Amino acid sequence: GEDVEQSLFLSVREGDSSVINCTYTDSSSTYLYWYKQEPGAGLQLLTYIFSNMDMKQDQRLTVLLNKKDKHLSLRIADTQTGDSAIYFCAESNDYKLSFGAGTTVTVRA
Amino acid sequence: GAVVSQHPSRVICKSGTSVKIECRSLDFQATTMFWYRQFPKQSLMLMATSNEGSKATYEQGVEKDKFLINHASLTLSTLTVTSAHPEDSSFYICSARSSWGGIQETQYFGPGTRLLVL
């Protein structure tokens, strides 16, 4: 959606960290999400962050939220080939999700 | 937990026929289910919000008579594409929001249904 923006492509070497960035416009968003979509599949919820938090870590995933700048990022440590997918950032307001266009992450050996 | 299934996973039909897609929450009750459409290499477009026992709320530009939604129980919603035409070919994804516990705004997605209208 036009309210959520992401870069479209990211290429990363296996074992390196990936950082996917997202900006959003709705300051009243309560939760922000990262979803992963593999080819031909639905969306898998990776992680989420409540809007009053600025960081959340979950194993290899780290989410950073800068509410002032309305900037969200997802860092994947030690990126593996299985991490190749499209990653969608989404904001939640009034129980509806607004998605970004998705960032295609390609992991190269 | 929080598993959502869709059936069928893919369907090919002739132009003019109707196609029904089912969305089920397998291990939780879903107050609300959502239907999305996704074009190749694009994001998800919300079509409608479906609440159990009431009429669906359609997004602007979505024809409610063409995309019939029924949410008969807390675990099942169906989307029927009536008189399908080639331009209706797309990937349809449903999601469900839990009616209890957890983060109630979180949506869990089905695996999607690929529709091809010839």
pLDDT per residue over B36-92, tens digit each?
A: 999 887 889 999 999 888 889 999 999 999 999 998 888 999 999 999 999 999 999
**Which of A54, A70, A74 minimizes the C-alpha distance to A12?**
A74
Residue range B3-49, pLDDT digits in tens = 899 999 999 999 999 999 999 999 888 889 999 999 887 889 999 99
A-to-B residue pairs, Cβ atoms closer than 8 angstroms:
52
Q: Among all residues of chain A, which has the CA nearest to that of B98?
A: A95
Q: Which amino acid is at A27?
A: S
Predicted confidence (pLDDT) at residue B104 exceeds the cutoff of 80: no
- Give the C-alpha distances (Å, rounded to integers) separating A69 from A8, A24, A66: 20, 9, 6
A105: contact with B, CB 8 A cutoff: no
Tokens representing B76 are 């099942």
Q: Which of A1, A41, A45 sits opposite B108 (nearest CB)?
A: A45
Q: Among all residues of chain A, which has the CA nearest to that of B109?
A: A43
Three-state SS for B15? coil
Non-local CB neighbours of B113 within 8 Å, separated by 6+ positions: B6, B7, B8, B9, B10, B11, B21, B91, B92, B93
Interface with chain A: mutation pick from B10, B28, B50, B105, highest number of A CBs within 10 Å: B105
| Chain B neighbors of A31, CB-CB under 8 A | 103, 105-106
Predicted confidence (pLDDT) at residue B103 exceeds the cutoff of 50: yes
Comparing A96 with A64, which gets the higher pLDDT?
A64
Cα torsion A40, B91, A8, A28: sign = negative
Task: Kindly tell me the burial class for residue A51, based on how many C-beta atoms sit within 10 Å of its own C-beta (0-12, 13-18, 19 or more).
Answer: middle
Comparing B98 with B29, which gets the higher pLDDT?
B29
- Cα–Cα distance measured from residue A22 to residue A16, given in angstroms and rounded to the nearest whole number: 20
- What confidence category does residue A26 fall into, taking pLDDT thresholds of 50, 70 and 90? confident
Chain A: closest CA distance from residue B61 (Å): 15
- What confidence category does residue B1 fall into, taking pLDDT thresholds of 50, 70 and 90? low
- Cα–Cα distance measured from residue B98 to residue A18, given in angstroms and rounded to the nearest whole number: 31
Chain B: closest CA distance from residue A13 (Å): 23
Q: Which of A44, A95, A100 sits opposite B97 (nearest CB)?
A: A95
- What's the gap between Cα B93 and its chain centre? 5
A51: contact with B, CB 8 A cutoff: no
Cα distance between the two ends of chain B:
37
Three-state SS for A81? helix
**Which of B47, B69, B71 minimizes the C-alpha distance to B58?**
B47
